[in-house]
Structure 1
Amino acid sequence: MNKVLVILALFINSLCFSQRIIETKTKYVNPEFETETKNAKALVTDLMKEKSIPGLSITVASKNKILWSEGFGLADLENKTPIKLNSKFRIGSISKSLTSIALGKLIEKGKINLSDTVQKLVPYFPKKKYQITIQELASHTSGIRNYNYKNGEYFSNVHYNTIKESIDIFKEDSLLFEPKTKYGYSTYGYVLLSAAIEEVAGQNFLDYMQNNVFEPMGMYSTVPDLNDKIIDNRVQFYQLRDGTIINASYIDNSNKWAGGGFLSSSLDLAKMSQHLLRKDIINKRTIELLWTPTQLADGERTNYCLGWRRDVTESGNIYIHHGGSSVGGRSFLLIYPKDEIIVSITCNLFTRFNESLALEIAEKFKK
């Protein structure tokens, strides 16, 4: 029996080693999908030309295999550094999807319930007119406000040492509406959610994410976007000004780790999605909970679940997705649960593209 365990451990280690080797490359194509890859590549190059994107990475995967992963263009225009499969991009609000997995793990362990109130779990958050539950935070129905763009909160360059410090930004503000009566997208709601995760886990939020989410899923290229830390393969960030590519404004993401502060690669996002399809990190019941649309008090349903969106194609195919826009980055993640197809895209330009591209690519890889 011990010999079997040793052989199994060596096999797993060899798979992990092979995965790490792949990540240092700029391209990987599964031989079974060369035609599909060629056709999808044309869509990607057209997008980069249309949007003037300096560098982009895309990964297409099934439940158990990487079908195609490739880096296009440059991670750093000044130094002519190419995009690799382990290039780290700002993923913006896909950080919320990562946070939802942390929430799911705590739910499974019985450490947190969706009906728990913030006032119960985060004692330093002031009482409001209404109680706010964990479910309302995760589904954007809490009434907690989002960034104030006019006073520069989205482009904040202030460093916050703790989540508790970052909550000072909005903790004294009144709720925008009674919880669960409306949908109101709020990254700050996820900041408050991460405070609850910290309190329940008894561990710093970033440490919890590393130890309980990233490491178990082999997400070697997913880290917080810490400005004062040397981070291997972090891309440079760009924006457009009058049609010209310039360096993106300096920002500090410590005001929003859980809602928009992580770096990742398209390959890591695909690996995370594979684990969800395999149901080996969190179980089927929890995944269904995270992927169930939210119902408001009046019975209306939104397309937002808990850290994910759920929609249906014209042909009736359900897809789970989330996008992320950030200063110097845009990302998109798509999962077809029935067909077990994943598409993840990351780029280093503050631009716009939506699920239509990912859906078109996913359709090409369906068997």
Structure 2
Amino acid sequence: MPSPPRLSTPQLPPLLRWCTLLCLCLAALPAAALDTSALQAQLETLRAAAHAPGASAAIMVKGELVYSAGVGLADVENQVPMTGASVHNIGSVSKVLAVVGLMQLVEQDKLKLDAQIQAYAPWFPRKQAPITVRQILTHTSGIRHYKDGEFGEGDVLMYRQWNDIQAASQRWKDDPLLFDPGRYWNYSSYATNLLQAAMEQASGRPLEDYLRAQVWQPAGMTSTQFDIPARIVPRRAHAYEYDKATGALTNTPQENVSYKFVGGGVIASDEDMVRFGHALNAGKLLGKRAIAEMYRPQLKPDIEAFPNPDGSPARKPPVQALIWRVQTDGAGRRYMAHSGSVKGTYSYLANYDQQDVVVALHVNAQGGEPDLKGTAEALAASVLAGL
């Protein structure tokens, strides 16, 4: 099979460059002190490191959208510019949207963090030791993550439509646990997918309906929904793969993520993501006690990451809260964050909840080495200095 044509990173035509700069200026009007040219340069650096056609970002400060912009292209074939309102699959950032909805059910005493998962998913087989909802939320359940080859030859099973989480879990639900729950930390999207069953049982509603009514609409997230291939989605961006060996940029396969709506199946814009963070900070989604528990570091001090099968050293577990990770920037400021990668995209959400500064980022290609965490911290620093 011939190699894909070598493509240089697409450049915006002059008219589209002018439109992008105009959007930058308009988005920045409420915060005149911001150096938008510097912010755009940081986005361009991020885009180049990712070898992506485009990159986007949004910043919200105390409920004010002070920056929303993109560089490059959201759609290469149609020459559509990237903006902060472009809609992408946000990958594992989907998990933090779900955990807020779950904690609402905890507040209402409809769901218990330390209940066994079978209380909400009775079809899930019992293992060598009980698994609690909290252990799923902290990646200490022992349920495995993905493994090579499980989607079949040519990854054909990635295109299958699943109509419920019980059916979608059949590929892995009977596997033994990697370890007794609580013994190690091991990131698992399969485990977090079980939260769909828990939330649907506790709320009595389909998960998307519940999240839309209880999380997305109260936060003003007008573009957020499940990533369903058949839907027509305004401003949907496209995603790509970059081949380091050849320098080729190709369309990414359009995986059907119906098997992991909680784990990585939500689409949203950067603007929606920062609205979500502010709504959380403003107490519109959860009470103070629930937020404190959600953000509290949950792991025992001596817990280790599950050893790698090849014997290589396992990385140190993160400061793990309930789904969220506690991060510290170069100035020593604490913030809550999560990253995501799926279908040719990288996403990042950073919430400086104490200052009510929220940053969301996205690049639309995988294969490069973008520093989303560092870029998010730099964007946040540009507004934190003035608070």
By the TM > 0.5 criterion, same fold? Answer: yes
Scaled by the length of structure 2, the TM-score of the pair is 0.84
1:247 aligns with 2:251: yes
Q: Deviations over 1:127-169 (max 9, x none)?
A: 1111111111111111111111333488822211111111112
Q: Secondary structure at the match of 1:61?
A: strand
Look up the match of 1:362. Answer: 380
Q: Deviations over 1:173-198 (max 9, x none)?
A: 11111111111100011111111111
For 1:322 and 1:83, the matched residues in 2 are separated by: 22
1:1-367 equivalences under 5 Å are 26-27=23-24, 28-152=27-151, 156-241=158-243, 242-296=246-300, 302-351=318-367, 352-366=370-384, 367=386
For 1:48 and 1:302, the matched residues in 2 are separated by: 26
Number of residue pairs aligned between Structure 1 and Structure 2: 343
What amino acid does structure 2 have at the position aligned with 1:210? R
For 1:78 and 1:262, the matched residues in 2 are separated by: 24
**Closer, same or farther: CA 41–292 of 1 in aligned 2, 3 Å:** same
Q: Deviations over 1:248-299 (max 9, x none)?
A: 0231111110010111110000000001111121111111111111223957
**Closer, same or farther: CA 363–260 of 1 in aligned 2, 3 Å:** same
Q: Which stretch of the first structure deviates more once superposed, 237-246 or 346-355?
A: 346-355
CA contact (8 A) 2:299 2:319 kept: no
CA contact (8 A) 1:238 1:329 kept: yes
CA contact (8 A) 1:293 1:302 kept: no
What amino acid does structure 1 have at the position aligned with 2:300? L
For 1:128 and 1:35, the matched residues in 2 are separated by: 54
CA contact (8 A) 1:119 1:131 kept: no
What amino acid does structure 2 have at the position aligned with 1:357? T
Q: Secondary structure at the match of 2:184?
A: coil
Look up the match of 1:11. Answer: none
1:78 CA drift (Å): 0.9
Q: Secondary structure at the match of 1:100?
A: helix
Q: Which stretch of the first structure deviates more once superposed, 205-214 or 94-103?
A: 205-214
Q: Deviations over 1:277-323 (max 9, x none)?
A: 11121111111111111223957785111121002234321111110
Q: Secondary structure at the match of 1:254?
A: coil
CA contact (8 A) 2:43 2:56 kept: no
What amino acid does structure 2 have at the position aligned with 1:107? V
For 2:285 and 2:62, the matched residues in 1 are separated by: 13
CA contact (8 A) 1:99 1:307 kept: no
Q: Which stretch of the first structure deviates more once superposed, 73-82 or 318-327?
A: 73-82
For 1:293 and 1:150, the matched residues in 2 are separated by: 34
What amino acid does structure 1 have at the position aligned with 2:343? V
For 2:51 and 2:303, the matched residues in 1 are separated by: 43
1:26 CA drift (Å): 4.2
**Closer, same or farther: CA 314–54 of 1 in aligned 2, 3 Å:** closer
**Closer, same or farther: CA 108–55 of 1 in aligned 2, 3 Å:** same
CA contact (8 A) 2:185 2:303 kept: no
For 1:360 and 1:94, the matched residues in 2 are separated by: 20
Q: Deviations over 1:319-350 (max 9, x none)?
A: 11110011221101111223322111022212
Look up the match of 1:12. Answer: none
What amino acid does structure 2 have at the position aligned with 1:167? S
CA contact (8 A) 1:55 1:348 kept: yes
For 2:366 and 2:50, the matched residues in 1 are separated by: 10
CA contact (8 A) 1:198 1:205 kept: yes
What amino acid does structure 2 have at the position aligned with 1:135? R
Instruction: Give the gaps of 5 or more residues in structure 1.
Output: 1-24
**Closer, same or farther: CA 149–299 of 1 in aligned 2, 3 Å:** closer
**Closer, same or farther: CA 200–31 of 1 in aligned 2, 3 Å:** closer
For 2:336 and 2:223, the matched residues in 1 are separated by: 23
For 1:216 and 1:128, the matched residues in 2 are separated by: 38
For 1:302 and 1:244, the matched residues in 2 are separated by: 34
For 2:373 and 2:119, the matched residues in 1 are separated by: 38
What amino acid does structure 2 have at the position aligned with 1:251? E
Instruction: Give the gaps of 5 or more residues in structure 2.
Output: 1-21, 305-316
Aligned CA RMSD, in angstroms, stands at: 1.9
1:113 CA drift (Å): 1.2
